[in-house]
Amino acid sequence: MGKHSRPGPPNQPSRAVPSVDRDDPLAAYHKRRRPPMDQARRHRPLHGGASHLRPDEPRVLEEWDGFGYQPVGTAANLAAARVWADERDTGNAE
């Protein structure tokens, strides 16, 4: 196994790079507009540090707007931030 090999079976594609439709002329544009690792919502500790440390401190909530993450609110603690990040938008039928 080489120095830069990823773990896991060799017959599975990497999850780090999303698939691209080769027939779509705007595929490169759509790929750039996707959030990193297809994560549209994320949370960060308000005062920095690792997200798992001090779980009772407030978190900044951020959403991907097509160009970058924008702050949209705060959560009281790590548990509330995880619930918000895992919510699915049920009212939007795209």
Q: What is the pTM of this model?
A: 0.60
Q: Would 80 be classed as within a structural domain?
A: yes
Counting residues of the chain whose pLDDT is more than 70, the rounded percentage is: 69
Q: Please state, in angstroms and rounded to a whole number, the distance separating the CA atoms of residues 90 and 62.
A: 19
Counting residues of the chain whose pLDDT is more than 90, the rounded percentage is: 26
Q: Would 2 be classed as within a structural domain?
A: no
Instruction: Retrieve residue 1's tokens.
Output: 């196994």
DSSP state of 64: E
Q: Would 72 be classed as within a structural domain?
A: yes
Under DSSP, is residue 28 helix (H, G, I), strand (E, B) or coil? helix
pLDDT at 80: 94
Range of the domain at 67: 39-86
Q: How many domains is the chain partitioned into structurally? A: 1
For the residues 39-68, what does the mean pLDDT come to? 87
Q: Tell me how far CA of residue 50 lies from CA of 25, 35, 46, 87, in angstroms.
A: 40, 21, 11, 22
pLDDT at 72: 95
In 10 A of CB 24, how many CB atoms? 11
Under DSSP, is residue 62 helix (H, G, I), strand (E, B) or coil? strand
Chain mean pLDDT for the chain: 77
Residue of higher predicted confidence among 90 and 54: 54
